Amino acid sequence: MSKTNKEKINRLIIYYFSGTGNARNVTHWIDDIARNNNYESQIIDISKIKNRKDIIVPDNALIGFCSPTHGFNFPPIMFHFLLRFPKSNKNKTFIINTRAGLKAGKYFVPGMSGMAQYFSALILLLKGFKIIGMHPVDLPSNWISFHPGIKPTVVESIYNKRKRETERFALNLINNKSDYKGLRAILVDLLITPIAFLYYIIGRFILAKTFYASKDCSNCGLCIEKCPVQAIKLVDKRPFWTHKCESCMQCMNICPERAIETSHGYSFAIYYFISSYLVLKIYKLLNINPLLDSIFPAWLSNIFNFFIDIGLIVLLYFFFYRIFHYLLRFRFFERIVVYTSLTKWKCWRRYKIEKRY
């Protein structure tokens, strides 16, 4: 899947976002390869960019973008960054998304990109860039709200394999060859793309609202200070996750007291209460169904129903998070929430990755 381009470039700038270090490590591997091949190379963490003027696109440079995949898309911080990225005069560019790599026995299981690569590619094409590389990197999954952190030995073996692949990709680009491995699963990716749109809302207004700090929190402020999108603030002397949270998992993994948890028990209970009781009550009270049926044909009424359902669930869930946060001050409530959080269990590892570059 590679072909040779004519022009020679010798400057590289990679813009990256990383929650738990995978994407950061990938940028460093590419940076190393570039430097070893006499490139002038620079890597920039987009969460540290304060001023738009700091975003530079020199004419002769190869520009790279690297970010984790969240909900089959790039997380909003990277997506918004791409949208406001300056236009280019035919700069060559590449896109890397790190994904949830797992290992079953001796088999390496890849993650799923969804629209992460294609949507960014479209934005960059419209801005005048020439895309010469699209590459997913399946590094250990950091989504520890969903599954326990991966064992260190498995992390090691996934890392070794993916580092070699990424270096080959980087060498291709440095040697002026295009590389589009990111397009291999295009059919599956397009099929799951609608989920990415839903996740954009659900991620922010539901998943982010499953985090809380248990009584083990020492109020050290590290989660607030390190949050790459400034989504955590102190409310009633306890960390509170605002809608800006992108569920990047950094806070949960760096907390020195291991006090940040995902509230599985509470979240399921409240979700069940909202969707199977409260929403129905609201429907009845406002007479929504007969109203929709009287205005629209049945199929359109069903579609509206679907979106009103989602809207109401998201809104109510968001509202209940504030109450949840208040109730956590009561020891009895806090203990029930803690003991029904899977992340509290000893076997539920965190995801820690060293800076290995």
Ligand X SMILES: Cc1cc2nc3c(=O)[nH]c(=O)nc-3n(C[C@H](O)[C@H](O)[C@H](O)COP(=O)(O)O)c2cc1C
- Would you tell me which residues interact with ligand X (CB under 6 A)? 18-23, 68-72, 98-100, 111-112, 114, 139, 141-143, 247-249
Least Å from the CB of residue 103 to ligand X = 13
Least Å from the CB of residue 58 to ligand X = 26
4: β partners: 177
Tokens describing residue 283 = 């429907």
Least Å from the CB of residue 112 to ligand X = 5
- The H-assigned helical ranges of 37-174 are 76-83, 116-126, 152-174
- Residue (124 or 245) nearer to ligand X, CB: 245
- Residue (138 or 179) nearer to ligand X, CB: 138
Q: How far is CA 323 from CA 1, 82, 265, 316, 317, in A?
A: 53, 36, 16, 11, 10
Closest CA to 350 of 284, 251, 246, 202: 251
3-state SS assignment for residue 71: coil
- Residue (76 or 128) nearer to ligand X, CB: 76
Least Å from the CB of residue 176 to ligand X = 28
- Residue (133 or 203) nearer to ligand X, CB: 203
Least Å from the CB of residue 26 to ligand X = 8
- Residue (67 or 178) nearer to ligand X, CB: 67
* Separation of CA 314 from chain center: 19
Quote the CA–CA distance of 311 and 316 in Å, as a whole number: 9
186: β partners: none
Strands 211-213 and 260-262: antiparallel
- Residue (149 or 239) nearer to ligand X, CB: 149
Quote the CA–CA distance of 216 and 252 in Å, as a whole number: 13
Which residue has the closest beta carbon to ligand X?
Answer: 111
Least Å from the CB of residue 239 to ligand X = 18
- Residue (100 or 288) nearer to ligand X, CB: 100
3-state SS assignment for residue 134: strand
- Whether 112 and 189 have beta carbons less than 8 Å apart is answered as yes
Helical pair 22-36 and 152-174, crossing angle rounded to 10 deg: 40
Least Å from the CB of residue 219 to ligand X = 25
In degrees, rounded to 5, the angle at the alpha carbon of residue 63 between the alpha carbons of residues 59 and 65 is 155
- Residue (178 or 250) nearer to ligand X, CB: 250
Least Å from the CB of residue 145 to ligand X = 7
